[in-house]
Amino acid sequence: MYRGPLLDSTRWDSYTPRRGDIVISTATKAGTTWTQRIVASLVFQSARLPLPLMELSPWLDLDVTPLADVLASLHAQRHRRFIKTHLPLDALPFHAEVSYLVIGRDLRDLALSTHHHARSMGSAGPRAALAAALETYGGSDASSFRPPEVPEDVHAFWREFFTRSAYPWESDGWPYNSPTHHLRSWWEHRSEPNVHLLHYQDMLDDLEGRMRRLADFLGISVDARLWPDLVRACTFAEMKAKGHEIWDSGPTGSALGTWDFFHRGTSGQWRTRCSADDLALHEQALRRLPTDLRSWLVRDAPPV
């Protein structure tokens, strides 16, 4: 059970699956919004979205928007539903009629992206927007919420990220939940016919190819003439330029839309920014994973 001022896994107890639902499950900064945008392009067969992405694809376990409102919105949707979560499989219900998309990212790149994200979240604008959102709807522990004090020094942050979690039973991922626990929970069930694993680096290297494979997995047929526009809409350049298509006007969207959410969308920065001690901590975290998962996860992208 994951419960805190922002995250509440028990909200999934109220979820009623609909055949064909898609659950997008990632660790923080592993490609969540990117995958939501890709799925939206496939579901709607259009580069343009009918509503902001966050409204189309709610984050069910985020304890900021009232649960009744989220469930009512999902119930009213007539398109194929796709829902976001940062929870591992052992904190989620698992339904045979639901498709689960799981995204992995090299932990070194994920750590640097998380540092930028968490630092941005604690800056004045986002802090004020999030406080306003929590005042509008407090959630279960909102009165105790304070954005984590994240060190500016990336090496100090790296040590925190790879040696503790926001949850006492996990070993890494601070100030959020653990990316290694998240991936391991899904890896053990990767052969299930309704589970599909994607790697962030593969999406960077061949976006169209991965989108086509995902369409096949989801049973979505795409007109060949649409592919160029759909792929273009899912590039980082397009998503960053059209951020207004991502964030809704509700409390969560208002908060998330106030900072540099789409930072670089690249890999390999760790090569020039990390020390030998930093990389040793990364190796220590990797040793907790099965060998085949380590081989799949680690991608030695060139420096950027």
Which residues belong to the active site? 86
* Cα–Cα distance, 148 to 100 (Å, whole number): 30
Exposed (0-12), middle (13-18) or buried (19+): which is 213, by Cβ within 10 Å? middle
**Structure tokens that stand for 21 in this block:** 């639902």
With residue 102 as reference, give the H or E element that holds it.
Answer: strand 99-104
Peptide bond just before 175 cis, omega within 30 deg: yes
Angle at 89 between CA 88 and CA 95, to 5 degrees: 145
Nearest Cα to Cα of residue 3 among 138, 140, 109? 140
Q: Cα 94 vs. chain centroid, distance in angstroms? A: 18
- The residues, any chain, with a CB within 8 Å of residue 303's CB and separated by 6 or more, are 268, 269, 271, 272
Q: Number of C-alpha atoms within 13 angstroms, CB side, residue 249? A: 1
